[in-house]
Amino acid sequence: MPREAVELHRTRAARRRAHRAAASLLRDHLKPPPQLTVSEWADEHRIVPATSAEPGRWRTSRTPYLREVMDAFSDPLVERVVFMKGAQVGGSEALNNVIGYFIDQDPSTVLFVQTTDEEAANYSRERIAPMISDCAVLKSKVSAPRSRDSTNTVDAKSYPGGHLGIVGANAPSGLRSRPRRVVLFDDVDGYPASAGDEGDPIELAVKRTSTYWNRKVGLVSTPTTKGASRIENAFEESDQRFYYVPCPHCGQEQRLQWDRVRWDKLRTPDGPVSVPSSAHYVCEACDERIEERHKVGMLERGRWIATKPEREVVGFHLSALYSPWFTWVELVEEFLSAKDHVEKLRVFINTRLAETFEERGDAPEWKRLYERRESYELGTCPEGVVFLTAGVDVQNDRVEGFVWGWGYDKESWFVEHVVAEGRPAEAGTWDPITAMLHRTYPGAGGVSFPLAAVAVDTGFDHLSVVDWLRRVGDRRVMLVKGDHWKNWTVVVGSPTKSEVVRDGRRFGYLLWPVGGALIKQETYGFLGLEAPVEGERYPPGYVHLPMVGSELVQQLVAEDLVTSTDKYGRAKRAWVTHRRRNEGLDGRVYARAAAEREGLSRLVRPLEELAIARKPHAKQLREERSRGDDDSGRNKRPAGWLKRRGGKPRGGWL
């Protein structure tokens, strides 16, 4: 064959190969993407990182309630999705699946918003980066990060057909940077009211989607406070879907709700004792007992039902009662630990039940408190009092002392009210307060109680208060002041050193910060408790009042907790007086702070050991304690005053 013919043959073959390669490339890029939903994509491609609770291939069947939540983002008829959820239900992983879907299946410009820039950076490193590196289809599209490659950084990921931005809600520049087709908001109840000075961060970011006809907006969060929760407000405007599961006994479909969770109680000499290990659910239709082992099958057969189907926004509500990783026993244990502590109970309601916490700030009806007064005399300590503290409120023309008795489970008794007329700067004004400080109060069984601690407010005239402290020189006196930063977080904080110069000499003292807002909230919760029926114990925190006048009772409930918004639209809570005098409430606050310093929250009943012994697994607890003993005797029970070690009686007058 001539040389020219051979070259021509080779050229034509090369052209055919080039044409085939070009055709293949065109087919790959022009063919429509596979018709997968988000959940189908996750089941096929998603690998959960090893740092997660359940690493390995993603299985939507593990959390079937997430299927419809995720698929709403791939539904062309849905524009906005709201997910009001509890903790440990898989919400964060569902959001990761949505991000992966819009990188691989439906390449789009995506904005993912966290609470702050720092949180956004942490989420990018700990969640998004591992997801990309572990999923082959994502790793092939998102370039590996390099020091000089700006297409893949902590806050930005580029891929064919799109771009992912990861920003904080506190950064206005990131929220308004460029148009976005998909905007995902995570933990929206933690967002600041304003991104810098530019307004609401959600509205600011949503405006970036206005040029897209097929835009997607997702809001996900656990709720916070009633009336100030973004996610609750968004859910109320949605079609409000709840996950209904069938009863394994009668088949009745129902929402899982906290008031249907029950557990057993054991009767002991010290009162009923809860047994969390017996936690179960009770069907609302047949009243049959549903055990934890039934949950998996119920979730598989469950379905979402919209209560407002006429609305366009798709909204989902899901509590931790549905979680496959958090049992009903653990929920009961957490509730029992939190029920007597306002802030702990707030966390439980928000993160476990996925419900907003309603402030118990409305003052209890004073007439109801007045009518339930008890017959013990003012100035005496009824049975149940363990120790006394006093709170002293300083006014312009008088100083008032309020003595409270404290018992187990934060039960309290109002014991004494002392009014010292006169200006605080006059030394003689304080004489009744000094007498109160050194007085003892008779109690049941002939026992007398001195004051364990006295908390004096320094907010009005701190120099006069310090002068009185110099005169009495009593270590039981603690000077207190309301603290703006600790108002909602602590009952009483760590003291700081202060000093004044009097008569040319320096006098040092400790100033204790007090969380007045938190104490008032606790007090109102306790005042709202109902008295038990005869023969049963009073509920924890119950407040006993003697036959005092109506004025003092009204002072005790003289304020309301009001939620309002500032000029930036941020929600703020404040206690507001609805009557002129509120000394009774302030005195209670200071006395409660003094009681906390004396260990009220750590006070344990003497019979608590007996109650523990009657609980399930008591044998195991005793064995663990016995194993904790060592030869040195450090952990052994000390010898009592009636017997020596070994059981032989002591000598002596007995």
Q: Is 384 part of a structural domain of the chain?
A: yes
pLDDT, tens digit, for every residue of 206-244? 988 888 999 999 999 999 887 778 999 999 999 999 999
Q: What is the CATH number of the domain that holds 91?
A: 3.40.50.300
Residues 377 and 519 in one domain: yes
Residues 315 and 377 in one domain: no
pLDDT, tens digit, for every residue of 566-620? 555 556 778 888 788 899 999 999 999 999 999 999 888 776 544 544 444 444 4
Residues 430 and 500 in one domain: yes
Residues 238 and 374 in one domain: no
Residues 476 and 596 in one domain: yes
- In angstroms, the Cα distances linking 453 to 345, 404, 415 are 29, 11, 14
628 CB neighbour count, 10 Å cutoff: 10
Residues 236 and 380 in one domain: no
CA distance 594 to 582: 19
Residues 375 and 313 in one domain: no
Q: What is the CATH number of the domain that holds 561?
A: 3.30.420
CA distance 559 to 124: 45
Claim: this prediction has a pTM higher than 0.85: no
Residue 397 has pLDDT above 80, yes or no: yes
Specify the pLDDT at position 635.
Answer: 38
pLDDT, tens digit, for every residue of 38-50? 999 999 999 888 7
Residues 318 and 454 in one domain: no
Q: Is 634 part of a structural domain of the chain?
A: no
What value, to the nearest 5°, has the Cα angle with vertex 172 and ends 167 and 178? 70
Contact 409, 541 (CB under 8 A): yes
- When divided into structural domains, the chain yields a total of 2
pLDDT, tens digit, for every residue of 457-509? 998 888 999 999 999 999 999 999 988 767 778 899 899 988 888 777 888 89
Q: Is 539 part of a structural domain of the chain?
A: yes
Residues 372 and 232 in one domain: no
Q: Is 137 part of a structural domain of the chain?
A: yes
Phi, psi of 194 (to 5 degrees): -140, 140
Contact 115, 169 (CB under 8 A): yes
Residues 435 and 515 in one domain: yes
What value, to the nearest 5°, has the Cα angle with vertex 386 and ends 382 and 388? 85
> What confidence tier does 363 reach under pLDDT thresholds 50, 70, 90?
low
Greater confidence (318 vs 531) lies with 318
Residues 320 and 372 in one domain: no
Q: Is 356 part of a structural domain of the chain?
A: no
| Residue 568, domain extent | 366-602
Residues 321 and 415 in one domain: no
Contact 288, 249 (CB under 8 A): yes
